Amino acid sequence: MKVTVGHLIAAFLEGCGVKSAYGVISIHNMPILDAIAERGAIRFVSARGEAGAASMADACARSAGTLGVCITSTGTAAGNACGGMVEAITAGTPLLHITGQIEVPYLDRDMAYIHEAPDQLSMLEAVSKKAWRVRSADTALATFQQAVREALTAPCGPVSVEVPIDIQAELIDLPESFEPVAPAISAPAAAEIERLAETLAAARRPLLWLGGGARGAGAAVARLVAMGFGVVTSTQGRGIVAETHPMSLGAYNLQPPVEAFYGTCDAMLVVGSRLRGNETLKYKLKLPKALLRIDADASANGRAYANQQFVCADAALALDALADKLEGRMRVDPDFAADLRRAHAAAVRALRDGLGPYSELVDAVQAAAGTRFHWVRDVTVSNSTWGNRELRLPDARAGVHAVGGGIGLGLAMAVGVATGAAAHASGRKTVLLSGDGGFVLQLGELACAVQEQADFTVVLMNDKSYGVIKNIQDAQYGGRRVYAELHTPDYALLAQAIGFAHRRATKLSEVPALLEALSRERGPKMLEIDMLAIGSFKTAFAGPPVKDAGTAGKAA
């Protein structure tokens, strides 16, 4: 059977288990989108911009645990996706960005051909783990197989493939087999695991620090926790152990009571974590001296923190092998669990206190979310303070946030999560926490959300300004508050115009009833928190905390 290369690409994506893809249609990707529609197996979500499409695909991948797919046009359109690609590379999301290119005969000749982007491939390389150009119809499948393999091989990341439009439309025989090629998985060396086990078997107060790279290692982690290991996570590692588990500190990873607790631990095994600057007080957080590390990325050895031992391997394989070696050997201090709980409780208390009135909001949103949900967050004060630690996440796929700190991705991420949950029939709710400043960046995607009936609730923290910027200006710029006041839409009217449900809370006591009312609506819905009516947080947040108080906030 003769098919277009576009058709082959659509069939290959189905073979990769892709159930939803995100993008904007254009003459430079129509052979692919036409085939997706014709085949009818993948739900294509028409974003209003490629920036949104990239973040939708990223968030779908993170929450559904699949390959994300974003399809753009050449030139400006591919460029529009770059912000979302930067976030995906920061987060290590397996994402395939497919973009077009002009016809091969005119390519790279500077002929002022419409849609040509000079050196598009270099631009894509800069924001991708790797980028390729399809060179011929015959090699298209191989290029896509290699690209998907790269995206899914740990450390995972976004990849880009540009396909000239004449190649997309070329007719070829549909190959007999067009399965994806399995990702490379690195097994640990037995001697390395033996050494790690020797060190840990002697530990009385062992703690695991889990990052996003350990998301697939939940079962092995559970074995170690059953032996008495405690757990703390990065924001990316949240939920690998349910955050309600008594041995979990959740992502309370840098609060003073927790840092003091680290001082009592005699070993910390860091797994699949960058130990990011904003989660380690710019690498000054005091971690236990016996710092051991497992990472699929060999260049993580000694990065950010010196480590006593490093094992380069897949997290799940390494932790499973380690658990085999430690079975029946751990002699954990009987006080360890209670001390961990005390440190956690003290950290939670301090956080709650700093929130002032908004502590009540945390409980109301948690109650409405239930136990099976996705918790998507934009970069806003409420996320930097509580959203990155509360709600209590049930599992490793529940949390999605902008790891790189860029505002404005949250709305599109919620669309990606909600449509991904629907395509995979996960039955989970999606809740988005966003500031008003970040929310307005991609307002056009609200139209997409309504059209797609993406089922999520936005909790919009509306202070009609860039709150954190004002706090930083107060702390570091003599209170000179400039460029941070925002003209803000009337969201009740906007909701009417675009067609989604909206409620505004002027008192936090109203929140449970308003969320209850919204839960009866389909599609996107918004609970607007009128922060000007409710008042400020007790403690002002002025950027990620750093070690000595004199420079507090400078990392923002």
| 58-117 residues near ligand TPP, rule: CB under 6 A | none
One-letter amino acid for residue 445 of the chain? E
Among 467, 544, 545, 553, binds ligand TPP (CB under 6 A): 467
d(CA 90, CA 38) in angstroms, rounded, equals: 35
Stretch that binds ligand TPP, among 34-42, 178-186, 265-273, 435-443 (CB under 6 A): 435-443
Report if residue 435 touches ligand TPP, rule: CB under 6 A: yes
Does the bond joining 391 to the residue before it have cis omega, within 30 degrees of 0? yes
Closest by CA position to 230, among listed 202, 266, 183: 266
Q: Which residues contact 178 (CB under 8 A, 6 or more apart)?
A: 8, 11, 12, 15, 141
- The secondary structure of residue 408, as a DSSP letter, is T
By CB under 6 A, name the one of 469, 505, 515, 546 that touches ligand TPP: 469
Q: Compute the least distance from the CB of residue 159 to ligand TPP, in Å.
A: 23
Tokens representing residue 113 in the block: 């051909």
Residue 437 in the binding site for ligand TPP (CB under 6 A): yes
Q: Which is nearer to ligand TPP, 146 or 536 (CB)?
A: 536
Amino acid identity of residue 182, one-letter, is A
Helix, strand or coil, per DSSP, at residue 494: helix
CA 510, 514, 518 angle in degrees (round to 5)?
170
Q: Which stretch binds ligand TPP (CB under 6 A): 32-40, 293-301, 356-364, 457-465?
A: 457-465
CB of 405 to ligand TPP, least distance (A): 5
Residue of closest CB approach to ligand TPP: 435
Among 468, 515, 529, 542, binds ligand TPP (CB under 6 A): 468
For the bound state, the minimum distance from the C-beta of residue 465 to ligand TPP, rounded and expressed in Å, comes to 6
CB of 439 to ligand TPP, least distance (A): 6
Instruction: Identify which of 353, 430, 537 has the alpha carbon closest to the alpha carbon of residue 56.
Output: 430
Closest to ligand TPP by CB, 317 or 379: 379
Interface segment toward ligand TPP; rule CB under 6 A; list 41-49, 50-58, 446-454, 464-472: 464-472
Q: Would you tell me the crossing angle of helices 445-452 and 50-64 to the nearest 10 degrees?
A: 50
The answer to the question of residue 436 lying near ligand TPP (CB under 6 A) is yes
Footprint of ligand TPP on 372-411 (CB under 6 A): 379-381, 405-408
Q: State whether residue 144 is helix, strand or coil.
A: helix
Q: Which residues contact 173 (CB under 8 A, 6 or more apart)?
A: 1, 2, 3
* Total interface residues for ligand TPP by CB under 6 A: 18
Residue 47: closest CA among 19, 70, 64, 29:
70
Instruction: Give the nearest distance from C-beta 407 to ligand TPP in angstroms.
Output: 4
d(CA 447, CA 83): 21
| Site for ligand TPP, residues 297 to 356, rule: CB under 6 A | none
The verdict on 543 binding ligand TPP (CB under 6 A) reads no
Stretch in the footprint of ligand TPP (CB under 6 A) among 234-242, 306-314, 368-376, 465-473: 465-473
**Please, what is the Cα angle at 182 between 179 and 184, to 5 degrees?**
160
Place of tokens 């032996």: 227
Q: How far is the CB of 70 from ligand TPP (least distance, A)?
A: 18
Q: How far is the CB of 470 from ligand TPP (least distance, A)?
A: 8
Report the nearest approach of ligand TPP to the CB of residue 435 (Å): 2
Q: Are strands 2-4 and 171-173 parallel, antiparallel or unpaired?
A: antiparallel
Q: How far is the CB of 515 from ligand TPP (least distance, A)?
A: 20
Work out the angle at residue 432's Cα, subtended by the Cα atoms of residues 430 and 437, and round it to the nearest 5 degrees. Answer: 160
Q: How far is the CB of 128 from ligand TPP (least distance, A)?
A: 19
- Could you list the residues that contact ligand TPP (CB under 6 A)? 379-381, 405-408, 435-438, 461, 463, 465-469
